[in-house]
Chains A and B, each alone.
Chain A
Amino acid sequence: DTGVSQDPRHKITKRGQNVTFRCDPISEHNRLYWYRQTLGQGPEFLTYFQNEAQLEKSRLLSDRFSAERPKGSFSTLEIQRTEQGDSAMYLCASSLEPRYNEQFFGPGTRLTVL
């Protein structure tokens, strides 16, 4: 399968714990995006990378959140001191721009904070 993959698919954690998610984009895609989706809502943009550079962060991305894309390939999203409000689906997408305009999404990581 050559699509976007995310790991883990599900994560249950206790409030106050740290969690880390991984996203593997489509090979050679230069842009990588993170979104968050809560129940009944559309996805909300969190941040994006152009190769290894993080170029934009949403105000939704509090200082408890950090994302990296160290070699311009896979990316990690870490949430420190999780809160119940962090419970959501975390979606990753990649694209090859400016050649193509479509973003390819992964299946998401569902986080539940108890």
Chain B
Amino acid sequence: DAKTTQPTSMDCAEGRAANLPCNHSTISGNEYVYWYRQIHSQGPQYIIHGLKNNETNEMASLIITEDRKSSTLILPHATLRDTAVYYCIVRPRGNTGKLIFGQGTTLQVKP
């Protein structure tokens, strides 16, 4: 499975967009990019996933570069409740389904 690299921590002002980068330079053609987050003392929560096109849902947007070697998760209007650890995960299409988590990015949203 491809490895991902994320910054250890980031800050964001409340109400502003939070842009969380992820590097996955060894990604292969059949691998998806998934994002999960984990709020303190809770289980991880699915946010979004994509293959090569940009994706948007009610929680966030996912921008994947054309060469697919990196991606950015965008929370358009961060709130204090978005403070969490965000995990970028690369997962093969049609695989067993297990998720391989790295250490993620700790996002601190400040008032």
In the complex, which residue of chain B has the Cβ closest to the Cβ of A31?
B97
Asked if A105 and B97 make an inter-chain contact with CB atoms under 8 angstroms apart, the answer reads: no
Does more than half of chain B's interface fall in helix, strand or loop, or is it mixed? Answer: loop
Interface residues of A (CB under 8 A from B): 4, 31, 33, 35, 40-45, 48, 55-56, 91, 93, 95, 97-98, 101-108
Q: A48 and B98: CB pair below 8 A?
A: yes
Task: Report yes or no: B87 in contact with A42, Cβ–Cβ below 8 A.
Answer: yes
Whole-angstrom distance between the alpha carbons of A48 and B99 in the complex? Answer: 11
- How big is the B interface, by class? 20 to 34
Q: Which residues of B contact A48 (CB under 8 A)?
A: 96-98
Q: How far is the CA of A103 from the CA of B99 in the complex (A)?
A: 9
B85 neighbours in A (Cβ, 8 Å): 42
Which residues from B are CB-within-8-Å of A35? Answer: 99
- Min C-beta distance of A79 to chain B, whole Å: 19
A48 to B42, CA, bound (A): 20
Report the Cα distance A95→B100, complex, angstroms: 16
8 Å CB contact of A105 from B44, B94, B96, B100? B44
Contacts of B102 in A (CB 8 A): 42
Query: Which listed residue, A33, A41, A108, touches B97 by the CB 8 Å rule?
Result: A33
Q: How far is the CB of B12 from the nearest CB of chain A, in Å?
A: 21
Task: Please report the C-alpha to C-alpha distance between residue A30 and residue B41 in the assembled complex, in whole angstroms.
Answer: 26
Q: Known contacts being A41-B103, A42-B87, A42-B103, is A56 close to B43, with CB within 8 Å?
A: no
Closest to B46 in A: A102
Contact present for A56 and B96 (CB under 8 Å) = yes
- Please indicate the chain A residues that have their CB under 8 angstroms from the CB of B99 in the complex: 33, 35, 43, 45, 103
Taking the nearest CB of chain B, how far is it from the CB of A112, in angstroms?
15
Cβ contact within 8 Å between A107 and B43 = yes
Chain A residues, CB < 8 A from B41: 107
CA distance A103 to B94 in the complex (A): 14
Contact A93-B43, Cβ < 8 Å, known A42-B87, A98-B94: yes
Complex alpha-carbon distance, A103 and B46, angstroms: 7
